[in-house]
Amino acid sequence: MSLKLKALLKSPWVFHLSTGSCNNCDIEILDCLTPRFDIERFGMLLAGSIKHADVLLVTGSCNRQSVIRLKRLYEQMPKPCLVVAVGECSLSRGMFIHSYNCPLPLDKIIPVDVYIPGCPPKPEAIIAGVVKLIEKVKKDKLSEKTKKAK
Amino acid sequence: MIYVLYFITYGFLLTVAIGLLTSWIDRKVTARVQYRVGPPILQPLIDIIKLLGKETLIPKGASKSTFLMAPVVGFASAILVSTILWVNNITSAHTYLGDLVVVIYLLTIPSISIIMGGFASRNPLASLGASREMKLILSYELPFVLAVLVPVIKSGFSLRLATILGYQLQNGAVATGLSGVLALIVAIFCIQAKLGLVPFDIPEAETEIVSGPLVEYSGPGLALYKLMKNMLLFILPFFLIIIFMGGLHFDAISIVKYVGLVALVTVIRNTNPRVRIDQAVRFFWGPMTFLAALAVALALTGR
Ligand code: SF4
């Protein structure tokens, strides 16, 4: 794995975007920063500006208004970057699945790297999701290498 | 030639190493104050490496060359000022008259580079942050210069760092006298503002104007700014140690002096809320300027 990617996985700065959530998922994300869970142990920080971020954390179902902003934010994020969907709403639109206002789930709009289900997911589940994300990126890189070797 | 050697080894490599370590100490102490575990020791370095590997985005309508040059200017002046300080700290053979003035000017340039970058990025939040930074500079520069005047007066009106150090070697540190202590207190508050730490992190104010002047920076530009701030976290306490406490000497007492100063700054940062910009200006132009002027007066009467 390149040094660039290794450093990225060791210090992922997270930008937290709510595309119309009920605010419950957001509170659970903030829980991860509290003394009990303390994700700064893994070098994660909440970034205030999207230009500083490496990970886009999306909560809530994407409605017609927020989709425009979501796409713009995704384009503004400096690459390489990762996207995490948190909560039932952003995974499959949850209880808003029949709503006129939520035509598409998140992964039909922008590429999603890891899904964290739950309504809302526990902080433990969020941390476990991030660990999965890190493992996934590592494995992807390895499989690319073996493909090239073949 | 000797200056180039100092520039690379002490000014750049050693300062960056100590700066990153200090940044870790700062984050770790903050975490412990909040009953958290805190980041691993290499975290600041990993952050910088990661930022260097990311894409540089230039906002639409920004002044491109200024936007890209600003972090380089700030970074270069940080290296330069640390070189001058190290040269003075190690030997007095290669110093020159008036380097104290040069150091004070160079210490302002990092803030000015942040203002340049903020205004160049054509972002309303960045402009707001930059204008706040400008007001903050105007407020803390006066008491800071007055406080620095105390060691100058004590060492017989010398504007040469080496002479100030030599005076302290013979007569004990400046901070042992009453005027020295007062000036040191003022200077500590001023470096708090210079470093942009809480209570004076008004230009950056994560929770109100995102991250102020740095909001549009990404990748290497942001890495340079972060590195510059980490270096300043070493340079400013180092400057205070040179002019008030008799320099660093690679022994236990020096380490205690340095770590103590950094821990003090961190504790102030962790136990205070952010003030408004008008409160900060009033604080620096009122009580702090008064204290500094008092210290100068005491120094003139020889106390
Ligand atoms: S997943 Fe549940 S908790 Fe999260 S935003 Fe949707 S409704 Fe709220």
A89 Cβ below 6 A of ligand 1: yes
Residues with Cβ within 8 Å of B150's Cβ and at least 6 positions away in sequence, in order, are: B174, B179, B180, B182, B183, B295, B296, B299
Q: What is the pLDDT of residue B203?
A: 77
Order the strands of the A13-18 sheet from edge to edge: A45-46, A13-18, A55-59, A82-86, A114-116
C-alpha span between A67 and A85 (Å, rounded): 14
What confidence category does residue A145 fall into, taking pLDDT thresholds of 50, 70 and 90? low
C-alpha span between B4 and B10 (Å, rounded): 10
Task: Please provide the DSSP assignment of B217-249 as one string.
Answer: --THHHHHHHHHHHHHHHHHHHHHHHHHH----
Q: What is the pLDDT of residue B73?
A: 92
Phi and psi, residue A46, nearest 5°: -85, 125
A123 Cβ below 6 A of ligand 1: no
C-alpha span between B110 and B100 (Å, rounded): 17
State the distance from the centre of ligand 1 to the C-alpha of A88, rounded, in angstroms: 6
Closest CA to B239 of B103, B96, B147: B103
Residues of A in CB contact (< 8 Å) with B are: 3-4, 7-8, 10-11, 35, 38, 40-41, 43, 48-49, 51-52, 54, 76, 78-80
Query: DSSP state, B287?
Result: I
CATH fold of A3-149 reads Rossmann fold (3.40.50)
Query: A77-101: buried (b, 16+ CB within 10 Å) or exposed (e) per residue?
Result: bbeebbbbbbbbbbbbbbebeeeee
Closest C-alpha to ligand 1, atom 2: A119
C-alpha span between B106 and A138 (Å, rounded): 44
- If 0-12 CB within 10 Å is exposed, 13-18 middle and 19+ buried, where does residue A122 land? middle
Per-residue pLDDT for chain B (303 aa), expressed as one digit of tens each? 777 777 777 778 888 898 999 899 888 888 888 888 888 888 889 888 888 888 888 888 878 888 888 899 999 999 888 888 888 887 767 777 788 888 898 899 998 998 988 888 888 888 888 888 888 888 998 999 999 888 888 888 888 888 888 888 777 777 777 888 888 899 999 988 888 887 888 777 777 777 778 888 888 888 998 899 999 988 999 888 888 887 777 778 888 888 888 888 888 888 888 888 888 889 889 888 999 999 888 888 877
Closest CA to B232 of B18, B9, B19, B4: B19
A22 Cβ below 6 A of ligand 1: yes
Which residue from A11, A40, A49 is facing B215, i.e. has the nearest CB? A49
State the distance from the centre of ligand 1 to the C-alpha of A112, rounded, in angstroms: 18
At B190, the amino acid letter reads: C
Find the domain containing B192 and state its range: 2-300
Could you say which residues from 29 to 58 on chain B have a Cβ atom under 8 Å away from some Cβ of chain A?
31, 34-40, 43, 46-47, 49-50, 53-57
Could you say which residues from 252 to 271 on chain B have a Cβ atom under 8 Å away from some Cβ of chain A?
none
C-alpha span between A97 and A89 (Å, rounded): 9
State the distance from the centre of ligand 1 to the C-alpha of A19, rounded, in angstroms: 11
Total of domains in chain B: 1
SS3 A39: helix
Which residue from A10, A43, A78 is facing B57, i.e. has the nearest CB? A78
Which residues of chain A are within 8 Å of residue B206 when distances are taken between CB atoms? 48
Q: Does B64 touch chain A (CB under 8 A)?
A: no
Q: Assess contact for B248 and B89: CB atoms under 8 A.
A: yes
Structure tokens at B156: 């017989």
At B181, the amino acid letter reads: V
- The full set of domain ranges for chain A reads 3-149
Residues with Cβ within 8 Å of A8's Cβ and at least 6 positions away in sequence, in order, are: A54, A80, B50, B53
Beta bridge partners of B121: none
Residue of A nearest to B60 (CA): A76
What are A34-87's pLDDT values in tens digits? 888 888 888 888 888 888 888 888 888 888 888 888 888 888 888 788 888 888
State the distance from the centre of ligand 1 to the C-alpha of A111, rounded, in angstroms: 20
How many interchain CB pairs under 8 A, A with B? 76
Closest CA to B104 of B89, B85, B132, B90: B85
- Torsion sign over Cα A92, A95, A98, A102: negative
Query: DSSP state, B10?
Result: I
C-alpha dist (Å) from residue B280 to A119, B23, B246, B270: 44, 24, 30, 17
Q: Does B286 touch chain A (CB under 8 A)?
A: no
State the distance from the centre of ligand 1 to the C-alpha of B188, rounded, in angstroms: 47
Q: Assess contact for B91 and B84: CB atoms under 8 A.
A: no
Which residues of chain A are within 8 Å of residue B54 when distances are taken between CB atoms? 54, 78-80
Q: What is the pLDDT of residue A144?
A: 60
Which residues of chain B are within 8 Å of residue A4 when distances are taken between CB atoms? 49-50, 53
